[in-house]
Amino acid sequence: MCGIVGIIAARPVVTDIYDSLVQLQHRGQDAAGIITCNEGLHIKKGTGLVRDIFQARHMERLQGHMGIGHTRYPTSGGKSGDEVQPFWTSVPNGIAFAHNGNIVNYLQLRDEVITKRKRYLNTYSDSEMLMQLFADVLQRCIGHNPTHLISDSTFFDGLCIAASELFSLIKGSVSAVSVIKGRGLIAFRDPHGIRPLVMGERTSSDGKKEYIFASEDTMFYMLGYTLIRDVAPGELIYVTEAGELFSKIVQHRAFTPCIFEYVYFARPDTMMNNINIYRSRLRMGENLGHLWQKRYGELRPDVIIPAPSTANTMALSMARVLGVNYSEGLYKNTFIGRTFIMADQKQRRQSVRYKLVPQLLEIKGKDVMIVDDSIVRGTTSKEIVKMVKEFGAKKVYFVSACPPVCKPCYYGVDIPTHEELIASSKTEEEIRAYLEADILLYQQLEGLVEAVTRKGDHHIDTPCTACLGGTYIHEQEGQ
């Protein structure tokens, strides 16, 4: 899971890309990078948070009216600085590339890129492999002639051929942005649309159209962009340096976006696949409330408290359905990162205590319901229950807005092994006992899918629910 952004404008783009990466920081805290382009490619990458990587001297040399950026949450490759995106290659013509997703058949394609296509790879990143694979096909389409001798429409045809071949070869998820020196900005999304990618537009002071492509539209308003639409599954969009836009859906398959984006990753102020994240989470809480009524009748807690902050919306809606007081009884220190993407269990457990502080008056002597977005490893959930009990709760009910996460994700969420998933080896009763909760309630899968898909002209065939026990997309296709 990562955050990507690409901008082409009538003025230098580095500041807008930097501001965009800050707005996408929730999608990756490990590293970040920016590449801008004018007569050449200008690069700055580093590990850590966006604000710590880019200094004034870096911003000054990142010249150009088009560029791309990336915030990293690694699901492929290692954690060294060599793996930080965006990547670049000089052939053909100079290409910079940033990718959000994960490739299941990476090793097979890596071997093909190296042995059959004779392209050199510096890292074990699937993103670098994708870039070299894309560049190889593009070079075969346009030849070795200088790209300025090729018309935009011919160049676009070559881009579409390259994307189509890429989609035919890969098993996994791809949302990508790229700049090509002397040509323009491109964006494309795999035919299943697993990872998000949205498009915005604004008009410069001299009337020129300017475009942005990003994982989420969280930065559009502050930068003056209007959300146009999502990049469609299987679509490639090419914006020339002159601002002319070409687009084509190069492959059609079932539209199966990741459901975990709605549960956890995306910011609540995001529109994704024409679905409002905030409203979908309200519906998750509503469905949870009805499920609680069905299971436990008139039993009610004294107070409902979210595990902040993704679950705030879900808990508020559930409290309304049950007619129970809502309280932010766990204060969150916003300067601590997201525990789900911490490096290891010990670090996650420690960071929960640093990040969350129970409020005594909201908890002591009460039956407390804690609503969280999900239970993945169980580490955070167990610590939260323990803290609330230490602050004097009589009973603790734990409710998850997501069904049990019982299988690894191969499409960009860092859940690589069954051993890390508490639901893969324990029953719900065993999980309740491990958490030391008095009641444990999981959302049912049909309730979650209904909450996500109830509203919006989204054209989703069915969300990807493989990590919740569903079928992996590449297995559905017999790949």
The DSSP code sequence of 458-479 is ---S--B-GGGT---HHHHTT-
Strand partners, 224: none
Q: Are 256 and 463 in contact (CB under 8 A)?
A: yes
Whether the link from the prior residue into 257 is cis, omega within 30° of 0, is: no
Tokens of 314: 């879900």
Cβ-contact 214, 16 below 8 angstroms: no
DSSP string computed for 130-158: HHHHHHHHHHHHHTTS-GGGS-HHHHHHH
Distance from the Cα of residue 143 to its chain's centroid: 35
User: Which contiguous run of DSSP H or E holds residue 90?
Assistant: none
Q: Which helix (H) or strand (E) holds 298?
A: none
The token pair at 247 is: 């687009």
Q: Token digits for 432?
A: 């309740």
Query: What separation in angstroms does the CA of 357 have from each of 331, 332, 385, 404?
Result: 5, 7, 12, 26
d(CA 229, CA 235) in angstroms, rounded, equals: 12
Contact residues for 3 (Cβ-Cβ < 8 A; gap 6+): 21, 24, 25, 26, 27, 28, 70, 71, 100, 214, 215, 216
Q: State how far the Cα of 181 lies from the Cα of 90, in Å rounded to an integer.
A: 9
CA angle at residue 174 from 169 to 178, to 5 degrees?
105
- Alpha carbon distance, N-terminus to C-terminus of the chain: 23
What letter represents residue 35's amino acid?
A: I
Asked if 195 and 130 touch (Cβ cutoff 8 Å), the reply is no
- H or E element that contains 167: helix 152-169
The C-alpha atoms of residue 454 and residue 284 are separated, in whole angstroms, by 11
Q: Exposed e or buried b for every residue in 168-196, given b needs 16+ CB within 10 A?
A: eebbbbbbbbbbbbebbbbbbbbbbbbbb
Give the active site residues: 2
C-alpha to C-alpha distance for 191 and 146, rounded to whole angstroms: 31
The tokens of 299 are what?
């039993």
